[in-house]
A and B are shown apart, each in its own frame.
Chain A
Amino acid sequence: MIREFSSADVLFIASAVRWTLILSAIAFLGGALGGLLIALSRTSHSRALRRMAAGFIQVFQGTPLLMQLFLVYFGLAVVGLPINPLLAAAVALTLHASAYLGEIWRGAIEAVPSGQTEAATALSLSYRDRMRHVILPQAMRVAIAPTVGFLVQLIKGTSLASIIGFTELTRAGQIINNATFKPFLVFGTVAILYFILCWPLSLLARHMEARMRRAITR
């Protein structure tokens, strides 16, 4: 039965924004933790750690997110877990975000002048204190604009979770489209909702980047 595209449908699609946001938040928080570990490994003194982190980044930046999602989704069965779209999407997006944030933050940590590390070492600060009180606070200033930029990419990336059957914004659109067959309106609405989520973040990232650049050139 094909029915009309009504305001209830718009409401259904709009309420699916919640799942896109939840998935993005899980992936971002998980990715922030993983990314920090990757960035610290990438800048550590241990060659094995550096190599491993570099390999992790290369694998996740050199393969499609869609394949990563499928691999985790079917991989759950391999390790004996029940197949669950939310779990698969959360794990895959977390790994994906870890690699990208790890690479962004590695750059930010390396942008802190080495004299800072030397001074902190001369003050006999431990690695932990050096990172926590000297290096990371300064790296954060450099990292924040590209991190917000990546958040936009991550929110858009969550749309692929619809392909493994997780009902977020895009999948809600597909469901409504199957019932009403108004693809122009439905996917137009979905696109506008994504735009409303992403555009302010893009503007914020650009604004912060411009401010950062002015601060450096001054």
Chain B
Amino acid sequence: MYQFNFQPVFDNLDLLLYGAWLTVRLSLMAMILGLIVSVLGAVAKTSGIRPLRWLIDVYVEVIRNTPFLVQIFFIFFGLPAAGISMSPNVAALVALVINVGAYGTEIIRAGIESIPQGQVEAGRALGLNPVQIFRYVILKPALRNIYPSLTSQFIYLMLTSSVVSVISANDLASAGADLNAQTFASFEIYLVLTILYFLLAFGFSTMFSAIRRIFFTYPAGR
């Protein structure tokens, strides 16, 4: 009969909680940078410039049709051969941003295309300049329309970020792996890790609902 032993986990709970904080930080950075990449990608994709659109197409298709694990191996182990070396933590962030940027580009593109042309013309008729039109008439309503898909993609990104532990970048899964190497209480450790990730996902989901209430409720006065 298997003897459960949660003692090593509780003795080192501070280590795991610190790991959870690192995962939160890494995910938040990847979300913010990923959002920027996604908006730029979507703008490039909806622009009239054909080579740019092709480039974005290739980026999105390659990333969406290969596993994140292979992407991070390629970036961390493969790119140094091409003269681009990164520390594990930087490589992890870069890989996550590139990954979520591809999904985000598609999501935001769909949002931008969901804005009726008449709305843009109305903005022009009100004398808004092109930057204002893009910001208030296209981007904000687009983000409101695709907010649920974008945020569930972000939560998925947070869960996927556990994979960065394979290149020993610092995060919750790495903290668990270190603890496992010292104590061998494998099942207990991964059970607690899974619960922590579940709580993180819940936390992010609550945060996204709060952001939605603050920024994306009608009337779109502000």
Contact = CB atoms under 8 A, between A and B. Distances in A.
Interface residues of B, number: 38
Q: How large is the interface on A (under 10, 10 to 19, 20 to 34, 35 or more residues)?
A: 35 or more
Contacts of B163: 64, 66, 160
Interface of B: 1-2, 61-62, 64-71, 73-74, 77-82, 155, 159-160, 162-163, 165-166, 173, 186-187, 190-191, 193-194, 197-198, 201-202
Given A80-B2, A199-B65, A71 B190 contact: yes
B69 A64 contact: no
A64 B71 contact: no
A39 B187 CA distance: 30
A71 B191 contact: yes
A170 B69 contact: yes
Contacts of B77: 177, 183, 187
Contacts of B61: 199, 202
A182 interface: yes
A199 B68 CA distance: 15
B79 to A, nearest CB: 7
Contacts of A152: 64-65
Contacts of A56: none
A19 interface: no
B78 A188 contact: yes
Contact of A70 (B68, B190, B198): B190
Given A162-B69, A173-B73, A191-B66, A63 B159 contact: yes
